[in-house]
Each structure stands twice: as C-alpha cells, then as structure tokens.
Homo-oligomer: A and B are copies of this chain.
Amino acid sequence: MSETATTEFDGSVVHPDLEYERKRCSFRIPDFTYALYGREGFAVLTKLRLALARNPAFDLRYLWSADGTTQQYVRGCWLAEEVVKVIRQLELIDRDDAIGPLQILAGEDMFVMLHLTMFLPTLKNMCDEEQARYWVPLAEDFRIIGTYCQTELAHGSNVSGLETTADFDDKTDEWVLNTPSLQSTKWWPGGLAKSCTHCVCMARLRIHDKDYGVHPFILQVRDLNTHESLPGVKLFHIGKKLGYNSMDNGGVQLHNVRIPRRNLLMKYCHVDRQGTYKPLGSKKLMYGTMTFTRKQIIMAAGPQLAKSVVIAIRYSAVRRQFPMTMKKHETKDSSRDAEVQILDYSTQQITLFPLLAAAVAYTVTGIWMDAFYNSFIEDAKKDDFSKLEEIHAVTSCLKAMMSLSVADGMEKCRKACGGHGFLLASGIPIQFVNFVPVATYEGDRVVLSVQTARVLLKIVQRKMMSRDPKHTLAGTTLEYIHNFDPFGDHQPPAIENTPWFDPDWLMEIHRRRSCGLVYKAAQQYAAETSSGKDMMEALDLVKVEFTRLGTAHAQVLVLHFFLEAVKRVELVEVREVWVDLWLCLALSWCDEHFGEFVITRALGPDHHDGLMTAFKTILRKIRPNAVAIADAFWIPDQLLNSALGRYDGRVYEALMESTKMEPLNRLDVPPGYLEHIQYILHPERKKRSSPAHSKL
C-alpha cells in the first residue's frame, strides 16, 4: 500500500517525525487495514481508489476557497458525471457493497448519491411489479434522476401532518397534486432544486373527498429533453447551507399538477379506475427506505470520523509546542530545539485516542449493521419479520448516537489542531459542515430515542408482567435488557482489584448502566401513565431519560460488536492493538458518563481514581502506535483534502502552498481599498461624508 499524495511539491520526502512513528509501531499497517475492512471490503476499496485516482474531478482542493453555491454546484455536477461514469464502467449499480464506499470516497455528496440511496431504493420498495419493471431500469440507467420528496416547510418528522394533496380525478384517471399553502411547500429534498427530473412525492391521497393519508407518488418535475421545469411545478433552490453545498437541496410548489393514476406507487395499496382504494399486503416493509438510509449512515460513520482523526493525529505528530525536559525517550532528534510533539501531551491523547478507537469501533459496527440488514431483508422476502422490532431499535439508536458522536468528534479534532484547524485548508471544517446535518436528517436524537425506548420498555414491560419473551430475544441485541434482574442486589464492585483491563467486566458494567437507565425509565413511565396521564404527556415527562438510555444502549452495542471483531482478529500483534483501542473507548465512556455509572450502581464514587489511572495507562500504551493506526484507515490524501493531514506530514509547506489558491492574493492592493479603506485612512479624500450619519 502506498499513498499517492496530491502534492504540488515533492511528495516523496516524508517528514522525519512521521517516518519515525511509522517505524516504531508494533504491527504491520496493512495487516490492520485488512482486519478492519475484511479482504472483500479491501478489494472493493482498492478497485474504487484505482478508478478515482488521478481524475481531476475528485481533486477537492477547490473547496478550500469555494465561492458561492453556483461554483460549488457546478463542481458537484462534474463530480456526479464522473461518479456515474465509474458506476457504469465498473457496473456497480446493483452493488450495495460498493455504492456506500464510493459515496464516501467521492468526498462530496451530490444529487446522484440521493438518487442511488433514496430514490432507487424507494422505487424498489414501493412499486408494484409492473411499475418496478418500468421505473427501476430507467433509474438504474440514470435515464431519469430522482429524489425523495417528503418534508415540507412547516412539517418534518410528523409525516402524518403533511399537507400536500393528491386528489383523484375519476374523469381523467389522474391525480391532481397541490401544495395548498405556504407551509406545505416541499422543502429540503436534495437534488430537487436543479438536478432531478423526477421525485417520489409524498402527498395525502384523497378520493372523492376522503383522505387516505400520506402516500408515495412518482412525479416528473423537469422535461427530459430540455431540463426545463414542467408547468405547475415551481422549483427553487432553498439557499446556502452551513455545508453540503454541492447538494442542491430544493423546494417545490405544486399547482394542479396532473399525473396518471398509476403514478401512485402501488405495492402497499391499489387504486383502480373507479377510485376504489384497497390496502395491500404487509405494511411492515413500508418504511424500509428509512431503515435502509439509517443503515447507510451507520456504515459511513466510522470512515467519516476517521478522516478528521487521521488529520488531527498526523498533525499532532508533526506539530511541536513547548519544551518538556526529561522526556528523552520521545525526543530522538537532538538537533531540534526541545519542543515536544503535541501528541505527547496527555490532554491531546485523551481527546484524540478515544476518537481513534471510536472510528475503528464504528467502522466494524457498520459492517455488522450491513450484514444484519441484509439478513433481515432475506428473511422479509420469506415473509419472516421476526427481526423487525430489533432492526428498528438498532438502526434508530445507533444512527442517533453515532451521528452526534461523529459530528462532535470532528469538531474536537478541529480544535485539537489549534488555530490552523480553523483554515478550510486543514480539511476538518469542510468535513464537519458536510457531516453535521446527518445528526438531524432521517430522525434526530429525540425522535429516534423515543423509537428506541419504546422497544426497550416493551421488553421490560413484558418481563415485569412475567410474559417471558426470552426465546424470541435469545442471541439478539436486546437479550441483555431482558436478562437483567432489576431486583438484584446492585452494589458497585469493590474498589480493590477492580479489573479495569478486563473487557468482559467492562462490558458487564456498561450493560448494567444501560439496564439501570432502561428499568428506571420504565418505572417512571409506568408511574406517570398509571397516575392517569395521557400517553403522549407521560412520554414527554420521560423523554429526557429516553435520550440518555438510547445513548447507553447504543454504546453497549458498539462495544459488543467491536469486542466480537477484536476476538476475530487473527494476527496477535494486531489483536493486541485492537484490545488497547477497545479498552480506550470503553474507559473513555465510563469517564464521560461516570454519573450514570454511579447512579445505576455499576460503579461507585471512589472508582473514578482507578478509572483515570487505567485510562491514562491505555492512552500511553496507544501513543507509539497512534500514527500507524491512523495510517491503517488507508484514506487517500485526495479524500482527506488537508494541508495538515497529508501522508508526508509536510504541513507548513502545504499551508504556504494553499495560500496560492486564495483569490485575494492575486492583487497586492485589495478590492475594498479604493472604495472604503482609503476613506478611513484619509477621510479628506471623500469630498462630502455620507449623508446617512451627518445628523447624529
């Protein structure tokens, strides 16, 4: 494995600090990479990296000085064109295992990605067979480009509150679509502004004034030949966002737009020529797109976090600040002044190493998630929906916890790079602003916590009513909740000989924390409802607790899947490093949520000293391997897009070089001087002052 860095200067000279770090690590870097992605995953990555390498469309440095949405959107279109070429040439359209990595490797999200991850899956899930035969090939061949059009200006998570209407006109056998108010303006769909030709539009299905609720309709919005928007379809761009501006999120107002009756997607219901409405089959898979999208988010979380962590760790190995005498073992280069690599500071380690561990943990959790989702789909094809509840709970809590953790983690990485982290050329700001909406879309923490908690509380409820559902839970991610004995004597373990480095024991106290929170919330909720409160009101009273138990449960799952993965690592020298990372993550969460551990008696107040000692021991143990672990994510420089995170570590050269891209550096005397600054310095040059303030 070698890095083909996007360099303007000689990339072959690696900074001696990084060279040293790579030599002194305790394992072979490629072995870690194989263990992380698996042989198959690694083969896919290799193929994709090759297809993208040296294609200037994937050189993302223009983002460092990106102008407004227009420039960025046009670049996004170029990126989209090249991505589609790669998909066509490598025949990836049906390869879910490749589309996800391709989305990450492309660097920027644009309309084509939503076409692939929302529009196409929705068609596959919502069309009846005849419809699928017509629409799916068109979408798979990009003869149409679509998006998923649901949220409205005033309506988000509450889908049943949507206002857009589709009225059946039995004279013409058509639906008439309208957004009847400002509030019902469709708002947010990615690609809808300028790129899409079609969308799946969610609207209230009405027949002869009877409202059947929200249903999916396929709606063409632009002419396939001219790309002009169609009559009655008022499309617009919703404006610049904090990030994610390669994506043209759009809005639409519909005025009596007519589409054929068969444009209602008819897998789960049927409306005939006479306007007779008939529900069809099991609705259990109706919200399949949402589960699919959350699964995709969970799969991407680890690699996304890794990008920022790799930058921060490499930079911290090159950046030096303040002397630290007596640290001879770290300072091997005696010719330099005695300033220390900032990665040697405990504060830097306690910030970055748990994030490094999380990046590995989330990556392997994502791989598990994908496999679990696929097995669920296989079962569903055989009409077996036994995993429905579990997959719902798992995707909800993992998406909520991981998306927030990654967004926060990126910002921590950025701050850990000091002042330079604030430059777009550092790479992390762009990663952060592009990723952070993930924490909101497809369900934010609150909405998803309620979903998770409902499933968990049901288990408690059933157990308390002695209806033992154990046989259905055995081997599932929910089993430990059932197995917990709320009436047991839950005293924190003795302080002496606390086994801080025993993964099974740490797993146990994490489970105890989670169960403690779940059973306590269940008790509170039961008390509120039995006191006569309405279900929604009682729910609001424990919602705060739900968000917390959702996080605790998600962390149990991540630690569990990570530990399973650790056990599967074959090479002992790699496995040892994974054990360190696992311990680092588990201990960091004990520290971060220490309050919850003591509340639930998983730990006692006096455990904190021992915890910190153990935590710091692991941090020091990881230190010599940190750069090598970062390397093992095998992220190309092109994707990091960072002057600070380059494989060759030549950060100062790269920063200096990056200033050449700044348009303001084209002129010595700037625009702004003649118009404004000269009048500050020389007010007499302006014959008369602006009348606006002369009266004050």
A64, A418, A439 — which one has the most chain B CB atoms within 10 A of its CB? A418
- Type the 1/0 row for A320-347, where 1 means its CB is closer than 8 Å to any CB of B: 1111111100000000010100001111
Segment at the B interface, from A122-130, A591-599, A633-641: A591-599
Q: List, in ascending order, chain B residues with CB within 8 A of A78's CB.
A: 672, 675-676
Inter-chain contacts of A599 with B (CB < 8 A): 594, 605, 608
- Which B residues lie within 8 Å of A381 (CB)? none
Q: Provide the A65-100 mask, 1 if CB < 8 A to any CB of B, else 0.
A: 111111001101110111011101110000000000
- A544 touches which one: B248, B325, B347 (CB < 8 A)? B347
Known A-B contacts A239-B659, A321-B158, A652-B182; the reply to A65 vs B73 at CB < 8 A is no
Determine if A677 and B145 form an interchain contact, defined as CB atoms under 8 angstroms apart: yes
Interface residues of A in 192-248 (CB under 8 A from B): 193-195, 197, 224, 226-229, 235-242, 244, 248
Contact of A541 among B337, B346, B598, B662 (CB under 8 A): B346
Q: Report A197 CB to chain B, min CB distance, Å.
A: 7
Contact of A418 among B183, B432, B440 (CB under 8 A): B440
Distance in angstroms between the alpha carbons of A662 and B70 in the assembled complex: 9
Identity of the chain B residue whose Cβ is nearest the Cβ of A244 in the assembled complex: B422
By a CB distance below 8 angstroms, the chain B residues around A155 are 321
Interface residues in A665-684 (C-beta closer than 8 Å to B): 665, 668-673, 675-681, 683
A677, B418: Cβ atoms closer than 8 Å: no
Contact A677 B224 (CB under 8 A): no
A420-442 with Cβ < 8 A to chain B: 421-425, 429, 432-433, 436-437, 439-441
Residues of B within 8 A of A678 (CB): 227
Closest to A83 in B: B680
Q: Indicate which residue in B185, B347, B543, B671 contacts A346 across the interface (CB closer than 8 Å).
A: B543
Contact with B along A541-558 (1 / 0, CB 8 A): 101110100000000000
Q: Determine if A346 and B540 form an interchain contact, defined as CB atoms under 8 angstroms apart.
A: yes
Q: In the complex, A153 Cα to B425 Cα: how many Å?
A: 14
A84 to B439, alpha carbons, bound, how many Å?
42
In the complex, what residue of chain B is closest to A607 when comparing beta carbons? Answer: B599
Q: Tell yes or no: A157 within 8 A of B by CB.
A: yes
| Stretch with Cβ within 8 A of B (4 or more), from A24-32, A367-375, A385-393, A686-694 | A686-694
Bitwise interface map of A from 49 to 63 toward B, beta carbon under 8 Å scored 1, else 0: 011001100000000
Let me know if B421 and A440 touch, CB within 8 A: yes
**How many whole Å from A91's CB to the nearest CB in chain B?**
11
Q: Are A659 and B237 in contact (CB under 8 A)?
A: yes
Write the nearest CB–CB distance from A682 to chain B, whole angstroms: 8
Minimal Cβ-Cβ distance residue in B for A439: B415
> In the complex, how many angstroms separate the beta carbon of A658 from the nearest chain B beta carbon?
6
Indicate if the CB atoms of A197 and B537 lie closer than 8 Å: no
Contacts of A224 in B (CB 8 A): 681
In the assembled complex, which residues on chain B have CB atoms less than 8 Å from the CB atom of A652?
A: 153-154, 182-183, 185
Chain B residues with CB under 8 A of A77: 672-673, 675-677
Determine the distance from Cα of A485 to Cα of B103 in the docked complex, in whole angstroms: 59
Q: How far is the CA of A598 from the CA of B90 in the complex (A)?
A: 58
Asked whether, in the complex, the Cβ of A228 is within 8 Å of the Cβ of B182, the reply is no
Cβ contact of A68, chosen from B65, B80, B143, B238, cutoff 8 A: B65
Partner of A89, one of B143, B144, B536, B693: B693
Tell yes or no: A653 within 8 A of B by CB. yes
Q: Is the CB of A419 within 8 A of B156?
A: yes
**Does A661 count as interface, using CB distance less than 8 angstroms?**
yes
Determine whether the beta carbon of A423 is less than 8 Å from that of B239: yes
- Whether A251 and B659, one on each chain, are in contact in the complex, defined by CB atoms closer than 8 angstroms, is yes
**Partner among B85, B161, B227, B344 whose Cβ is within 8 Å of the Cβ of A669:** B227
Question: Does A582 have its Cβ within 8 Å of any Cβ on chain B?
Answer: no
- On whether the beta carbons of A85 and B690 are closer than 8 Å, the reply is yes
* Residues of the B chain whose Cβ atoms lie less than 8 Å from the Cβ of A696: 50-51, 86, 89-90
Q: Please, could you name 12 A-B residue pairs with CB atoms under 8 Å apart, sorted by A?
A: A68-B68, A74-B671, A80-B677, A89-B696, A145-B680, A157-B321, A238-B662, A324-B540, A325-B536, A325-B537, A326-B536, A601-B605
Q: Which 6 A-B residue pairings sit nearest by Cβ, starting from the closest?
A: A594-B595, A77-B672, A242-B429, A77-B676, A194-B670, A326-B534
